[in-house]
Amino acid sequence: MVRAGSEVQFLSAAPFPLQIDRSHVSANPTNSIPAPIETGHADLGDHRLEFVRFARTRADAPSLILLHEGLGSVAMWREFPARLAAASGAEIFVYSRRGYGTSSPRAASYNVDYMHIEARETLPQLFDFWGLDAPVLVGHSDGASIALIHAAEDNTPVHAVCVMAPHIMVEPISIQSIEFARDQFRTTDLAEKLGRYHDAPEHAFRGWNDIWLHPDFLKWDIRPLLPAIRCPVMAIQGEDDPYGTMAQIDGIEAASGGTVELVKLSGCGHSPHREAPDEALRALTAFVEKVGQ
pLDDT at 22 over 60: no
CATH code of domain 27-291? 3.40.50.1820
258-292 pLDDT, tens digit each: 999 999 999 999 999 999 999 999 999 999 999 97
Whether 246 shows a pLDDT value over 60: the answer reads yes
User: Could you tell me the end-to-end alpha-carbon distance of the chain, in angstroms, rounded to an integer?
Assistant: 36
* Residue 73: per-residue pLDDT: 98
The pLDDT of residue 293: 62
Confidence of residue 94 (pLDDT cuts 50, 70, 90): very high
Measured CA angle at 235 (ends 71, 98), to 5 deg? 25
What pLDDT, on the 0 to 100 scale, is given for residue 3? 28
Q: How confident is the model at residue 223 (pLDDT cuts 50, 70, 90)?
A: very high
Distance between CA atoms of residues 171 and 50, nearest Å: 31
Tell me the average pLDDT across 124-144. Answer: 97
Q: Is the pLDDT of residue 1 over 60?
A: no
- Edge-first strand listing for the sheet containing 233-238: 38-43, 48-54, 91-95, 63-67, 136-140, 160-164, 233-238, 260-265
pLDDT value at 5 more than 60: no
Confidence grade of residue 209 (pLDDT, cut at 50, 70, 90): very high
> Is 233 within 8 Å of 198 (Cβ atoms)?
no
What's the rounded mean pLDDT across residues 239-266?
97
Whether 168 shows a pLDDT value over 70: the answer reads yes
pLDDT in tens, 114-124: 999 999 999 99
Q: Which pLDDT score is estimated for 33?
A: 87
73-82, 219-228, 284-293: which has the minimum mean pLDDT? 284-293
Provide mean pLDDT across the span 66-95: 97
Whether residue 281 contacts residue 92, with contact meaning beta carbons closer than 8 Å, is answered with no
**Confidence bin at 18 (pLDDT 50/70/90):** very low
Closest to 251 measured CA to CA, from 158, 175, 170, 173: 170
* Mean pLDDT across the chain: 90
pLDDT attached to residue 160: 98
Mean pLDDT score, 121-142: 97
Task: Say yes or no to pLDDT of 21 above 60.
Answer: no
**Res 32: pLDDT:** 77
